[in-house]
Amino acid sequence: MSEISHSWLNELPKIELHVHLEGTLEPELMFELAKRNSIPLNFSGVNEVKEAYQFSNLQDFLDIYYQGAQVLLHEQDFYDLTWAYLLKCKEQNVLHVEPFFDPQTHTDRGVPFKVVINGISDALADAEERLGISSKLIMCFLRHLDETSAIETLKNSAEYTDYIYGVGLDSSEKGNPPEKFSNVFSAAKDMGYKLVAHAGEEGPASYIWRSLDILNIERIDHGIRAIDDPELMLRLINNQIPLTVCPLSNVKLKVFEEMASHTILEMLEQGVCVTVNSDDPSYFGGYMTENFVSLYDNLGLSKDQALRLVKNSIDASFAPKKRKKGLYSILDEFAAE
């Protein structure tokens, strides 16, 4: 196998399990959609937007994230947003994606649920046919809103179960514990949805316990605070419960002060099923390749570790068995070169 390098990391076959479609909105597309839809922005240009992408915590980011989402109004907008992300995946050899979308961000502005889902699902279908990128779409509930709103969103999703594969929980973690959403997750499970949730990013390790035990989720999004709790680490290792870790996001939001202090590889070596993901790549400085490159540059990521991280992503994905087998074959062929 060739020596590891930035180009090798770009060519590495990858799977993404934690990305918010609204968080892939690049400033250039934001301005294009704002112009198309006659939406005024609080920024004079692309450079001013990029300068605003300096965050001291999660809430700083969310404030500007929801501003950006205002430009998304029509099916074509959601298609263009999703398609731009998928083209980036093609550039970086990302073969399977399980993106999140936040319907409440849009329905609360009067955008119909069907407009959001139609635009996104059409782009995902085109990506499978034209780019060879498979996908499973996950609908997230906003945890800063009440559970009644989440239940209404779940009801709205009922006629779109052919397009939505799972449900998740995102937005402000502090002050919004998992148990706040126990009823809606129970109802989602009854509807046959796969269950995931953000936990242990800004919230404590106890939020991870409660997400597993109260919400009955199958996969933890972020989960980096698990390392604070040896008993929880043991549970994650023994049960191979996946963590969808987002390294660049964690540094950008000051969860870690610098990448050199990130614990993802430490957790990997302890046997946790950690995976690499981009979260909100437009805002956090990079997509999948940039996250792997940063681990290599700052933590000395090895070839073996990179391959194990991708294998973890295949294992942790909701892809059908046949697709997983195909992804393993592609990865094995790449590793043998």
State pLDDT tens for residues 167-183.
Answer: 999 999 999 999 999 99
Annotated binding site for substrate: 280
Query: Is the confidence at residue 2, as pLDDT, over 80?
Result: no
Annotated binding site for Zn(2+): 18, 20, 198, 279
For the stretch 116-166, pLDDT in tens is: 999 999 999 999 999 999 999 999 999 999 999 999 999 999 999 999 999
Does 46 reside within a domain? yes
Q: 16, 98, 201, 290: which one is catalytic?
A: 201
Mean pLDDT of the chain: 96
pLDDT classification of 20: cutoffs 50, 70, 90: very high
Average the pLDDT over 3-13 and give the result.
96
More confident site: 186 or 46: 186
**221 and 199 in contact (C-beta within 8 Å)?**
yes
Six-digit token string for 210: 């409660």
For the stretch 260-296, pLDDT in tens is: 999 999 999 999 999 999 999 999 999 999 999 999 9
Does 247 reside within a domain? yes
Structural domain of residue 58, as residue ranges?
6-336
- Reply yes or no on whether 201 is catalytic: yes
Q: How far apart are CA 63 and CA 65, in angstroms?
A: 6
Does 1 reside within a domain? no
CATH number at residue 276: 3.20.20.140
Average the pLDDT over 201-229 and give the result.
97
Average the pLDDT over 233-262 and give the result.
97
pLDDT classification of 53: cutoffs 50, 70, 90: confident
Does 114 reside within a domain? yes
Query: Is the confidence at residue 1, as pLDDT, over 70?
Result: no
Q: How far apart are CA 197 and CA 200, in angstroms?
A: 10
Average the pLDDT over 9-31 and give the result.
96
Query: Is the confidence at residue 299, as pLDDT, over 60?
Result: yes
pLDDT classification of 228: cutoffs 50, 70, 90: very high
Average the pLDDT over 97-119 and give the result.
97
Query: Is the confidence at residue 67, as pLDDT, over 60?
Result: yes
DSSP 81-148: HHHHHHHHHHHTTEEEE--EE-HHHHHTTT--HHHHHHHHHHHHHHHHHHT--EE-EEEEEETTS-HH
CA–chain centroid gap for 184, Å, is 21
Give the total number of structural domains in the chain: 1
Which of 61-65, 228-232, 319-323 has the lowest average pLDDT? 61-65
Query: Is the confidence at residue 59, as pLDDT, over 90?
Result: no
Per cent of the chain over pLDDT 90 is: 90
Enter the pTM of the model. 0.96
For the stretch 69-100, pLDDT in tens is: 999 999 999 999 999 999 999 999 999 999 99
Query: Is the confidence at residue 301, as pLDDT, over 60?
Result: yes
Does 156 reside within a domain? yes
Does 300 reside within a domain? yes
Q: How far apart are CA 21 and CA 281, in angstroms?
A: 9
Annotated binding site: 18, 20, 198, 279-280
Say what angle helices 321-336 and 303-316 make with each other, to 10 degrees. Answer: 170
Per-residue pLDDT at 43 = 82
